[in-house]
Chains A and B, each alone.
Chain A
Amino acid sequence: MTLRACRHRRAGTAAALILLSLLLSACEQPDMANQPRLDTYQSDSGFADGMAARPIPEGTVHRDQALNERPTHNPAPINRGTLHRGRQQFEIFCAPCHGRNGSGQGVIVQRGFPAPPSYHLPRLRQASDAHFYDVITHGYGVMYPYASRIRPADRWAIVTYIRALQLSRNARIDDVPEALRPRLREAPP
Chain B
Amino acid sequence: MPQVFRPRANALAWTVLIIAAALLVVAVCLAAHYFSSPYYSGVDRTPPQPVPFSHKHHVGELGLDCRYCHTSVEDSSFAGVPESEVCMTCHSQLWTNARLLAPVRDSLKNDRPLRWQRVHDLPDYVHFDHSAHVNHGVPCQACHGRVDEMPLTTQKKTLFMQFCLDCHRNPAPHLRPPDAVFEIGWQPAGVPSEARQRYGERLMARYHTPTTERLTDCSLCHQ
Does B bind A?
Answer: yes
Residue A43, interface by CB 8 Å? yes
Partner of A148, one of B65, B78, B83: B83
Question: How many B residues have CB within 8 A of the partner chain?
Answer: 25
B86–A108 contact, CB under 8 A?
no
B94–A112 contact, CB under 8 A?
yes
Task: With A35-B124, A91-B65, A108-B62 as known contacts, state yes or no: A144 contacts B92, CB within 8 Å.
Answer: yes
B115–A43 contact, CB under 8 A?
yes
Q: Which residue of A lies closest to B78 (CB)?
A: A40
Q: How far is the CA of A138 from the CA of B42 in the complex (A)?
A: 42
B64–A96 contact, CB under 8 A?
yes
Proximity bits, A69-96, B CB within 8 Å = 1, else 0: 0000000000000000000100111001
Residue A183, interface by CB 8 Å? no
Question: How many A residues have CB within 8 A of the partner chain?
Answer: 26
Q: Which residue of A lies closest to B178 (CB)?
A: A88
User: B134: shortest Cβ distance to chain A, in Å?
Assistant: 13
Judged by DSSP, the binding face of B is loop
Q: In the complex, how many residue pairs between chain A and chain B have their CB atoms under 8 Å apart?
A: 53
Q: Which residue of B lies closest to A42 (CB)?
A: B118
Interface residues of B (CB under 8 A from A): 62-65, 67-68, 71, 78, 81, 83, 85-86, 88-90, 92-94, 112-113, 115, 123-125, 179
Residue A140, interface by CB 8 Å? no
Judged by DSSP, the binding face of A is loop
Q: Which residue of A lies closest to B66 (CB)?
A: A92
Q: Which residue of A lies closest to B125 (CB)?
A: A32
Q: How far is the CA of A40 from the CA of B77 in the complex (A)?
A: 10
B63–A107 contact, CB under 8 A?
yes
Task: With A92-B67, A107-B63 as known contacts, state yes or no: A37 contacts B124, CB within 8 Å.
Answer: yes
A149–B71 contact, CB under 8 A?
yes
Q: How far is the CA of A41 from the CA of B63 in the complex (A)?
A: 27
Q: Point out the residues of chain B lying under 8 angstroms from A49, CB to CB.
A: 112
